[in-house]
């Protein structure tokens, strides 16, 4: 099982009240966390793309921040979690250009995560007034990238975007192209991802018991994959939060005042294409931060990766058992001070990750290398 860091650009109101530069502070803090992860066994950092979502996410131009991070890291793969590929938001040809350029600048360390957006605030800002139509937009665009990256010229006349014959440049640095992923959260999208041969980026939380059926659906669908790229990226990555400190009680105490309840409340405020559980209050009423008792119950169920290294490892065993390929952990969806974030990233990376990830190679690099070898013989 591999590990990644999730960077969402969350800027809690409380941080802005005490720091007029809180937005800048958060962005630079997350860059520093990726650098810390790079030197302590974390294999991936994932960078979101959101628009107009005050407080919840201030990373709109991940194509700008990701090469900045790539220049400061050596081994870590830099992933888009996600790039919105609906044409009104990002023209697919521009996406193809940026992805290939990121592949060059990172020297083959870029991961191409895709999606269609989850918020009518965002979609409406780009003139999309029907969230359902984004499914058709996605389906039209996703199959075109491998054609754009081929050595010859490209043209297309579709429903949502068209372009005359042009040579899309640059071409990817490492053949055949970066690993491809898609955001997924329900059984239908897990199955669709498997059939398309795309890795899954799951941004909905839960226990291993809850997520196990989704992993099974994906792996079963993968058996009949017709990949939209040049190869299958057999990967399920699930996101959650964590807090790892040498002192178990201190980790729990920090988690009870993380500010993550506000972040979750904003998620349901803005990402209104997600199902809203009955227990989620209407904004501006907030989901409270978890109590100590809730954290302990969550640990017992495998949902709360909070505690000392041994405790965290015990929880991770439950995720590993259901076949998750990568856990993406987001420490900065919080009000934790930067030094504490660095401490938990480094401790987890040094004391926990080596017990679960003993492979020096990234799984996606292996899939890509194997695909290049097969294509070379055709």
Containing H/E element for 356? helix 353-356
Dump the DSSP string for 35-69.
HHHHTTT--EEEE----S-TTT-----HHHHHHHH
- Tens digits of per-residue pLDDT, 107-117? 999 999 999 99
| Residue 365 domain boundaries | 2-377
Q: What angle do CA 325, 330, 336 make, to 5 degrees?
A: 155
What is the spatial distance between Cα 264 and Cα 81, in angstroms, rounded to a whole number?
A: 18
What is the spatial distance between Cα 318 and Cα 187, in angstroms, rounded to a whole number?
A: 21
Query: For the chain, percent helix, then strand, then coil, each to nearest 5?
Result: 45, 15, 40
The pLDDT value given to residue 157: 98
What is the spatial distance between Cα 274 and Cα 281, in angstroms, rounded to a whole number?
A: 15
- Tens digits of per-residue pLDDT, 10-21? 999 999 999 999
**Coil, strand or helix: which one is 175?**
coil
The pLDDT value given to residue 199: 98
The pLDDT value given to residue 320: 98
Establish whether the linkage from the previous residue to 84 is cis, with ω within 30° of 0. no
For residues 58-86, average pLDDT = 98
Q: Which of 203-207, 274-278, 298-302 has the highest mean pLDDT?
A: 298-302
Going by the DSSP 8-state scheme, the letter that residue 358 receives in this structure is -
Short-list 46, 71, 72, CA closest to 59: 46
For residues 255-273, average pLDDT = 96
Question: What is the percent of the chain where pLDDT is above 90?
Answer: 97
The pLDDT value given to residue 299: 96
Radius of gyration of the chain (CA): 20
**Residue 319 clears pLDDT 90, i.e. is over it:** yes
**Residue 275 clears pLDDT 90, i.e. is over it:** no
Please name the residues in contact with 36: beta carbons below 8 A apart, sequence gap of 6 or more.
342, 345, 346, 349
How many distinct structural domains can be found in the chain?
A: 1
The enclosing domain of 31 has a CATH number of 3.20.20.30
The pLDDT value given to residue 273: 87
**Coil, strand or helix: which one is 156?**
strand
- Tens digits of per-residue pLDDT, 160-219? 999 999 999 999 999 999 999 999 999 999 999 999 999 999 998 889 999 999 999 999
Establish whether the linkage from the previous residue to 261 is cis, with ω within 30° of 0. no
């Amino acid at each position: 099982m591999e590990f990644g860091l999730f960077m969402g650009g969350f800027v809690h109101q409380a941080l802005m009240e005490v720091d007029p530069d809180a937005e800048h502070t958060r962005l630079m803090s997350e860059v520093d966390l990726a650098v810390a992860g790079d030197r302590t066994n974390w294999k991936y950092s994932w960078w979101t793309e959101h628009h107009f979502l005050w407080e919840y996410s201030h990373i709109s131009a991940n194509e700008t921040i990701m090469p900045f991070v790539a220049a400061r890291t050596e081994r870590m793969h830099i992933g888009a979690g996600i790039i919105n590929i609906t044409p009104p938001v990002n023209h697919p040809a521009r996406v193809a250009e940026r992805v290939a350029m990121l592949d060059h600048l990172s020297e083959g360390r870029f991961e191409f995560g895709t999606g269609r957006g989850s918020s009518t605030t965002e979609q409406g800002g780009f003139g999309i007034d029907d969230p359902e139509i984004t499914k058709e937009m996605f389906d039209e665009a996703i199959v075109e990238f491998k054609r754009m990256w081929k050595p010859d010229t490209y043209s297309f006349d579709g429903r949502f975007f068209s372009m005359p014959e042009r040579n899309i440049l640059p071409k990817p640095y490492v053949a055949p192209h970066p690993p491809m992923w898609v955001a997924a959260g329900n059984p239908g999208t897990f199955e669709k991802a498997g059939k398309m041969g795309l890795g899954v980026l799951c941004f909905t939380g839960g226990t291993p018991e809850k997520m196990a059926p989704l992993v099974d659906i994906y792996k079963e669908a993968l058996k009949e994959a017709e990949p939209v790229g040049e190869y299958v990226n057999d990967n399920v990555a699930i996101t959650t939060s964590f807090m790892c400190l040498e002192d178990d009680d201190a980790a729990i105490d920090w988690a009870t005042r993380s500010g993550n309840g506000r972040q979750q409340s904003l998620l349901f405020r803005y990402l209104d294409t997600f199902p809203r559980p009955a227990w989620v209050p209407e904004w501006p009423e907030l989901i409270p931060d978890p109590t100590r008792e809730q954290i302990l119950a969550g640990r017992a169920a495998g949902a709360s990766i909070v505690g000392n290294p041994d405790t965290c490892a015990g929880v991770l065993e439950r995720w590993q058992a259901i076949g998750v390929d990568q856990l993406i952990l987001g420490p900065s969806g919080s009000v934790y001070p930067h030094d504490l974030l660095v401490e938990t990233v480094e401790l987890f990376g040094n004391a926990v990750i080596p017990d679960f990830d003993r492979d020096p190679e990234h799984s996606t690099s292996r899939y890509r290398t194997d695909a290049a070898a097969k294509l070379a013989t055709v």
